[in-house]
Amino acid sequence: MTAALGLATLTLWAGAADAQDLSQWNRNKGDCEFVLKAPERYPLASVNECVQLWEQYRDVSGLSPDERALYGRGPSWLFVQGINADQKALARGALNRMNIISPYCFSNEQWSISCAQGGGDSFVELKPLPPVTPKSVPKGAQSKASKLNSEGIRAYKKKSYATAIGKFEEALKHDPFYVKAKFNLACNQSLVGDKEGALQTLLELQSWQSAEAQGAFQNARKDKDFEPMYSDRRFRQLLGLIRLQILNGAAEPGLFHVGRIHKDFTKRNYVVHSYGYDRYIRKRPLIYYREGYEKQAELAKEIVSNVRTATKKINWESPYDIIVVWGDPEVAQKSGTSGPVVQGTGTKPDGGNGLDKLLDAKDKLQGQSEKIQDAAQPPPLPGAN
């Protein structure tokens, strides 16, 4: 919870674990590794239990795309076959945490990556609630709500998050539009793993038409209490957060433009996860975007500021929501090929011209492809808008 609401704030995305701690999962998983990979062979109750254990104990930050595809079968099966809203909500949360846009399908004894049942945009998209004008309450009710909010903060400081949630909910009964209590409630719901509750609370806060409410809503972008939500695509979409990569597809002449683009994104409070050389020389700038990030793609196109810029949807497993690739027709013409010229992995900015180091990694290969280079081990947390 933010300092403005009475508690400390840390830098955005700070404190991410360097390595996975799988000890809790290994102690509690039982045969869930098998259940999640082949859920069609087990009772739905067993799948439900294993997805619950997965959500409670399994860190997914280090999973490869292949592992996500395997373990995504369990929650996909639960989402499609689930008989109640709780099961579907649990499955939806597990899939979103692994950045799986739509549940996988099982048909003719085979799994496929797209499923018409329950999938699509509505699976991850959160629609804004109708605007609400906050109403004031008598001073007596305000006083009671303020007291309960203070009690909730004390419980929070003791890490008694469930108790804190009760206090904030009670405060909102006395003052339904008490911004501090509403925001603090969302923080503690996030901390106890109630992602659905936190998202709903934030949606409601977003709908309140007051400067205080809108300011509190924006604070969710940088409050450390929402770290458990960072991997949830719905949370990132709601708050306007993106995972961003910038690549240079124009050799040394492209360095200036990559630096310019990086600087402009940074000025707009976006965090660039990685940048480096594309594997291929590009004839024009390209912007790849994940479905649901069309608005951010248009903003990226504005930042690139080149009439030749093309936008394309990401149709492969990628840890990024937006990938910006700089291209130049003159460089492509001089190279004599639109195929691979530079082979390198993404690299983090080092405050200087870190891309120069990649010039030594040239690999003169031939061929054509529209695929781009993703970092093998991208940072696990998203950037900010």
Alpha-carbon distances, residue 324 vs 143, 195, 245, 305, 307 (angstroms): 51, 30, 6, 12, 14
pLDDT at residue 216, as a whole number: 93
Distance CA 113, CA 215 (A): 39
pLDDT at residue 117, as a whole number: 37
Distance CA 274, CA 62 (A): 17
- One digit per residue, the tens of pLDDT, for the chain of length 385 reads 754 444 433 323 333 333 456 888 999 999 999 999 999 888 888 999 999 999 999 988 888 888 888 899 999 999 888 878 888 889 988 988 988 877 888 876 778 765 433 333 334 567 789 999 999 999 999 999 999 999 999 999 999 999 999 999 999 999 999 999 999 999 999 998 888 889 999 999 999 999 999 999 988 877 889 988 877 778 877 887 888 899 999 988 999 999 999 999 888 767 787 888 888 899 999 999 988 788 889 999 999 999 999 999 998 877 788 999 999 999 888 876 444 333 333 433 333 334 334 333 333 322 223 333 433 333 333 333 3
Backbone dihedral angles phi then psi of residue 65, each to the nearest 5 degrees: -55, -40
pLDDT at residue 327, as a whole number: 94
Distance CA 343, CA 361 (A): 6
pLDDT at residue 269, as a whole number: 66
Distance CA 304, CA 296 (A): 12
Domain-by-domain residue ranges, the chain? 23-123, 129-238, 244-361
- Tokens of residue 318, six digits: 């990628």
DSSP 191-236: HTT-HHHHHHHHHHHHHB-SHHHHHHHHHTTT-GGGGGGTT-HHHH
Q: Provide the whole-model pTM.
A: 0.48
pLDDT at residue 239, as a whole number: 86
Match domain 129-238 to its CATH number in 1.10.357.10, 1.25.40.10, 3.30.1330.20, 3.40.30.10: 1.25.40.10
Match domain 244-361 to its CATH number in 3.90.1150.10, 3.40.50.300, 3.30.1540.20, 3.30.70.2390: 3.30.70.2390
pLDDT at residue 275, as a whole number: 81
- Tokens of residue 105, six digits: 């399908």
